[in-house]
Amino acid sequence: MSKGVQGAVLRLLRAETFRLRVKSTMLECGGLMKRITFSSPDELPAVLFEPAAWIRLWFRTSEGREVQRAYTVAGYAPDRSTIDVSFYLHQTSGPAAAWAQRVRSGAMLDVSLLGSRPFHLDEWAKGVVLLGDETAFPAVRAILASLPDDIEARVLLTGEHDLSAFIPTRQRTDVHYLPVQRATHGFERMLRELDDSRIRDRAADNRVAADELWHCWAAGESSMMRAVRAAAKRSNVLCEQKPSTRSYWSRHRVI
Ligand SMILES: Cc1cc2nc3c(=O)[nH]c(=O)nc-3n(C[C@H](O)[C@H](O)[C@H](O)COP(=O)(O)OP(=O)(O)OC[C@H]3O[C@@H](n4cnc5c(N)ncnc54)[C@H](O)[C@@H]3O)c2cc1C
């Protein structure tokens, strides 16, 4: 079956390809997500085992075309023989979500690997600010699991559903949920509060600026990500000139 222009471009760019076989499936997060464990006949590429790594999975549409969709590696077996992907079962006829709804053990998927930039903590960061909706939830969990114990985390979850109860407990971590309409304001407020406390701390012990700053990672629906990116750029409390924000899906078109 043809992978069309997307497949031709990925071939041209020498994307690595391999196949995954569904080993088992399990509903999680109160049935909103389906976690699928995949095995591979070949050794899995090392890059998959870094926090928030992602792969391009190929699905068949109802018209018989093959299309690729990006998904995060949500976890893996200690011996690295399997990886897990958590699919948000959004209620549309998207080929990826529809496949995840009905898939059974033994099903096979083609995978392309290109462009995955795993999360790397800025070495000076005082803490991490994470924002994400249901599609970014697997990455948020993977990032939190990768953080050293002394790193603070402020997590703002958004989307149609509050998944905060499904974030494993971690010291020095605040987790909040806000619905989509209030998430950008909430994010701005969170950055303002961090900045206020940075200024207060500074007056107290006059620490150097670099280790007062926070690392920012955000992903979700594309129009929200535009607003989040703008708010992040206006803030004085984030490490990077260009915070790590990424559109994971669009209300108006397929990304
Ligand atoms: C790097 C990266 C990592 C990602 N990781 C994950 C992951 O781990 N888990 C995960 O579930 N998703 C993840 N996503 C998002 C996922 O790729 C998109 O949601 C994708 O569009 C789903 O494909 P689909 O075939 O189901 O729907 P599509 O064919 O893309 O879209 C069909 C319709 O559904 C709508 N739609 C798509 N996604 C959603 C949604 N989340 N909520 C409501 N409506 C939607 C579209 O607007 C469109 O109208 C990731 C995306 C990127 C870029």
pLDDT digits (tens, 9 = 90+) for 75-91: 999 999 999 999 999 98
CA angle, 131 then 135 then 2, to 5°:
140
Percent with pLDDT over 90 in the chain: 77
Which comes out higher in pLDDT, residue 98 or 197? 98
Cα–ligand 1 centroid distance for 249 (angstroms) = 5
At residue 203, the pLDDT reads 56
Task: Give the residue, by CA position, lying nearest to ligand 1 atom 38.
Answer: 249
Average pLDDT over residues 97-105: 96
At residue 239, the pLDDT reads 82
Predicted confidence band at 206 (pLDDT cuts at 50, 70, 90)? low
Mean pLDDT of the chain: 92
Domain ranges of the chain: 4-113, 127-249
Neighbour tally for 173: CB within 10 Å: 18
Of 248, 251, 252, the one to substitute when testing ligand 1's pocket (max ligand atoms within 8 A of C-beta) is 248
For the chain, where are the E strands, in sequence order?
16-28, 33-39, 54-60, 66-72, 75-76, 82-88, 108-113, 127-132, 152-157, 173-177, 214-221, 244-249
Tokens of 113: 């690997």
Cα–ligand 1 centroid distance for 135 (angstroms) = 7
CA angle, 232 then 117 then 247, to 5°:
50
Q: Is the pLDDT of residue 22 over 80?
A: yes
Cα–ligand 1 centroid distance for 99 (angstroms) = 12
Cα–ligand 1 centroid distance for 77 (angstroms) = 25
Measured from the Cα of 59, ligand 1's closest atom is 25
Burial label for 64, CB within 10 Å (0-12, 13-18, 19+), is exposed
Average pLDDT over residues 43-70: 94
Give 86's Cβ-side CA count (13 Å radius): 22
Cα–ligand 1 centroid distance for 168 (angstroms) = 24
At residue 124, the pLDDT reads 82
What homologous superfamily does CATH list for 4-113? Translation factors (2.40.30.10)
Tokens of 20: 């995954």
Tokens of 48: 């998959």
Q: Who contacts 205 (Cβ-Cβ below 8 Å, separation ≥6)?
A: none
What is 127-249's CATH topology?
Rossmann fold (3.40.50)
Q: Is the pLDDT of residue 128 over 80?
A: yes
pTM of structure: 0.94
Q: Is the pLDDT of residue 208 over 60?
A: no
Q: CA 227, CA 182: separation in Å to the nearest integer? A: 12
Q: Is the pLDDT of residue 54 over 60?
A: yes
Would you say the CATH fold of 127-249 matches that of 4-113?
no
Task: Give the residue, by CA position, lying nearest to ligand 1 atom 52.
Answer: 248
